[in-house]
Amino acid sequence: MIVVEVEAGERRYPVVVGAGARAELARLIPASARRAAVVTQAGIPVEVDPGVEHRRFLIGEGEDHKDLSTIAALCSELARWGLTRGDVIVAVGGGMVTDVAGFAAATYHRGVPVVHVATTLLGMVDAAIGGKTGVNLPEGKNLVGAFWQPHAVICDTDALATLPPRELASGRGELAKYHFLTGEDLLALDLEERIAAAARIKAAVVAADEREDPANRRGRAVLNYGHTLAHALETVGRYDLRHGEAVAVGLRYAALLARRLGRIDDARVAHHEAVLADYDLRADLPPGSDPAQLLEVMRRDKKALDGLTFVLDGPEGVEVVPNVDARIAADVLDSMR
C-alpha cells in the first residue's frame, strides 16, 4: 500500500493506493459522521463498507447525466434521507461519479465531507484528486462547479480488473499527460507505483495553486494539457471517445500547434507521438470532424480568459498561452484530418 499526502490550502488528506485499499474506508471516514451516502452507478461492481449507517444513491451513467438536474435530484434524495452537514458522502466510481458527488458535497448544506473511492484508472490518476468538481452545460464541459477538497481518496487497484479495455485506455490518456508535465518515465514503474506517482505530481501542482489562479500561467491550469480539444470533442458529442482517448488526441494537437507557433521543434513533437504510441493510444482526429465547429467550442473553454487559449509546451515547459490566432489553430486541426 502506498500513501500520498495532498496539501491544499489548510487541507491535508491521504491518497491510499494499492490492492484491497477500499478496506481502509471505515478508518478514513470523518469521526463526526453518523451516516454515509454512497453515491455510485448501477454498473459499478464495487461494494464498500463505510463502517457507519449507509445507503446507496444511484446516478445515471454517461455524460448525459452529468448535469445540474442530476445534482438537484441527488441533493433532494439526501435531504429526504436526512443527511446532515456532519455526515459524509462516499463517491464510488470513475471521474463522472467523483465530479458529481463532489459537487453535490460542495453545495449540499454548503459543504459536507466527501471521500472518493476511485474505481477507474482515470479516476485514480486524475479525477478523484485535487478538489475540482463540476457538471456540464450544453455549451461545454465542467462549466458549473466548485473547488471542494475530499477528506480522503482511495485507489483500490483490484477494481481495475473489472474495467473494459477502452476504460483502461482512457486512464492511460491522462497518465501520458504527466510525462510532458514532468519528463518522468512513468512506464518504467509498476502500475501501483505509476498511479501513486501521478497522484504525487498532481498533489504538488495543486499545493502550489489550489484554485487555479488565472494569472499563474504555469500553475494548476497545466493539468489541462491536451484538454482544450478533448473537451470540445466530448462537448460536440458525436465522436465515440472516452475522456482519456480524447485527451490523447488533444495532446498530439497541442504538440502540433506548439510547433506551428515556434514553441517546440520536430523532435519534441516526435516525443509526444512516441509516448502516446507507448501507451497504445490513437491520436488521430476522428473521421468526419468539423474544425470550425470544434474551434467554436474551444472558444468557450473555461480557461479562455483572453481570446482562444491553450495549454502548450514551450522552451520553459508547459504553460497557458492566451490569444492564439484562430486561423493557425484551425489550420493545425485541418492538418490532422
Q: How far apart are CA 8 and CA 176, in angstroms?
A: 24
Q: Which of 227, 242, 263, 302 is catalytic?
A: 227
319 is catalytic: no
Catalytic residue (choose from 10, 110, 316, 327): 110
The three cell numbers locating residue 50:
463505510
Catalytic residue among 224, 242, 303, 319: 224
- Single out the catalytic residue among 35, 132, 194, 302: 132
Q: Let me know if 212 is a catalytic residue.
A: yes
In the residue annotation, 231 being an active-site residue is answered as: yes
Q: Is 141 marked active-site?
A: no
Catalytic residue among 151, 179, 200, 231: 231
Q: β-pairing, 132-137 with 140-147?
A: antiparallel
> Does 202 qualify as catalytic in the annotation?
yes
- Which whole-number Å values give the CA distances from 258 to 109, 112, 225, 229, in the listed order? 44, 42, 12, 14
Which residue in 66, 142, 172, 174 is the catalytic one?
174
Residue whose C-alpha is closest to residue 336's, from 248, 226, 249, 210: 249
Q: Is 303 a catalytic residue?
A: no
Catalytic one among 54, 177, 202, 263? Answer: 202
Residue tagged active-site, from 24, 212, 245, 319? 212
323 an active-site residue?
no
Query: Is 116 a residue of the active site?
Result: no
Q: Which residue has the cell 452507478?
A: 41
Which listed residue (116, 200, 220, 263) is catalytic? 220
Tell me the three cell numbers of residue 153: 481518496
Is 243 an active-site residue?
Answer: yes
Cβ atoms within 10 Å, residue 49 = 12
| 174: annotated active-site residue | yes
Give me the active site residues, please.
110, 132, 174, 202, 212, 220, 224, 227, 231, 243
